[in-house]
Amino acid sequence: MSSQSRSFSMLHLALLFLICLDIVAAYDCYPRKVAYTINVSNLPGAAINYTTVQAAINSIHEGNNQWIRVLVQPGVHMEQVVVDKPCILLEGHSLSDTIIVFDSHQQLNTSQTFYVKKAAKNFIAKSISFKDTIWDLSGHHYFFECHIEGQVDFICGNGQSIYQNCIINVLGNGYITAQKREAEEETTGFVFNKGLVIGQGSTYLGRAWGSHSCAIFHSTSFNTFIVPQGWSAWFIGQKIAFFQSQTFFFFFFYLTPKNMTIQELQSFTQLSYIDSESPRGWLSRQPID
Ligand SMILES: *[C@@H]1O[C@H](CO)[C@@H](O)[C@H](O)[C@H]1NC(C)=O
Ligand SMILES: *[C@@H]1O[C@H](CO)[C@@H](O)[C@H](O)[C@H]1NC(C)=O
Ligand SMILES: *[C@@H]1O[C@H](CO)[C@@H](O)[C@H](O)[C@H]1NC(C)=O
Ligand SMILES: *[C@@H]1O[C@H](CO)[C@@H](O)[C@H](O)[C@H]1NC(C)=O
């Protein structure tokens, strides 16, 4: 990760589903089911194909366009994983027993445990935990029923993402998000819908990492202390639109020329925000139900 004055805290990201699609969309994987499975276990003697997740991913060819399941058996997998091939379903056994961890999250100059590259169009992770910061860098993402915990900027980047029904666990005083939208024309943002924020300490919902940062918490229950101002301008700017209603907490820099209506805000929480062809777009073409 490359930014000044950022400190990363330990994050435990447990995913049920994470679905990514790059913004240049229209990369389809055929058919809408898994073509074959590659089995990964780091236990000796297991009847498997590879002992590391990375070796399994490396075995997939670059122009892959069929769904391939990388099935990761229970265990703590100490490795750094770079996903750089399209159409991969990374599936663990369960959130509690398939864990990928690589101790790099405390170093600002190193890459993260788990990195989904742009070339990895259509990526899904299911029933697996990563210990790292979520770098929601770019592209369109759908996080469903995820459990995410951390302290400082633990959901960061310039992705366009919906976090649906996720539990966010705040581990101490800090900031949940650091969204990095840089221009008015960009459509990126982090949208938390129907989730639950729990934890301890007092937290900001986010701080602006970009001049037009955007983050929205909608129909979210808060069971931890949120600082009254909600958001921090950090070193970017001052002009924060912070909107609070019964169902919205909304944070948007340089909101011009007018405030959003509830209807406009509502459009962020529709799946069409990340999948313009919804309900028949890329989200409906994943090999999971
Ligand atoms: C994967 O490997 C495990 C452990 O050896 C084995 O129990 C399981 O049947 C294998 N699954 C597939 C789909 O090959
Ligand atoms: C994985 O290993 C099994 C059992 O040895 C084998 O039948 C299968 O072809 C292998 N699959 C891949 C993708 O290498
Ligand atoms: C990152 O920082 C660590 C500790 O400061 C150092 O040992 C390591 O070589 C650095 N890595 C890179 C890729 O610069
Ligand atoms: C936006 O709403 C805020 C709070 O209701 C208000 O103070 C501000 O003047 C409004 N801005 C515009 C441009 O309407």
Distance CA 84, CA 22 (A): 12
- 259 close to ligand 4 (CB < 6 Angstrom): yes
Q: 33-58: per-residue pLDDT in tens?
A: 999 999 999 988 777 899 999 999 99
- Dist CA 101 CA 80 (whole Å): 7
What number does the ligand 4 atom closest to the CA of 258 have? Answer: 13
256 close to ligand 4 (CB < 6 Angstrom) = no
Cβ of 34 below 6 Å from ligand 1:
no
Q: Is the dihedral of CA 220, 225, 230, 233 positive or negative?
A: negative
Q: Is any ligand 2 atom within 6 A of the Cβ of residue 38?
A: yes
- Is 136 a catalytic site residue? no
With bands split at pLDDT 50, 70 and 90, how would you rate the model's confidence at 16? low
Amino acid at 43: L
164-202 pLDDT, tens digit per residue, is 999 999 989 999 999 988 888 899 999 999 999 999 989
What mean pLDDT do residues 122-129 have?
86
Structure tokens at 280: 């028949």
For 90-121, how does the pLDDT look when each residue is reduced to its tens digit (9 = 90+)? 999 988 899 888 765 554 434 466 667 777 77
| Residue of 37, 41, 49 best suited for mutating to test ligand 2, as the one with most atoms within 8 Å of CB | 49
- pLDDT tens, position by position, 229-268: 888 887 665 566 677 777 777 776 655 546 677 888 888 9
pLDDT single digits (tens) 132-174: 667 777 778 888 888 888 888 888 888 899 999 999 999 899 9
Say how far apart CA 47 and CA 55 lie, in whole Å.
15
153: annotated active-site residue: yes
Pocket test for ligand 4, best of 259, 264, 265 (most atoms within 8 A of CB): 259
User: Looking at residue 41, what is its pLDDT?
Assistant: 95
- Measured CA to CA, the distance from residue 82 to residue 99 in angstroms comes to 15
Q: Does position 272 have pLDDT exceeding 90, yes or no?
A: yes
Burial readout 189-228 (b: 16 or more C-beta within 10 A, e: otherwise): bbbbbebbbebeeebbbbbbbbebbbbbbbebebebebee
Between 118 and 77, the more confident residue is 77
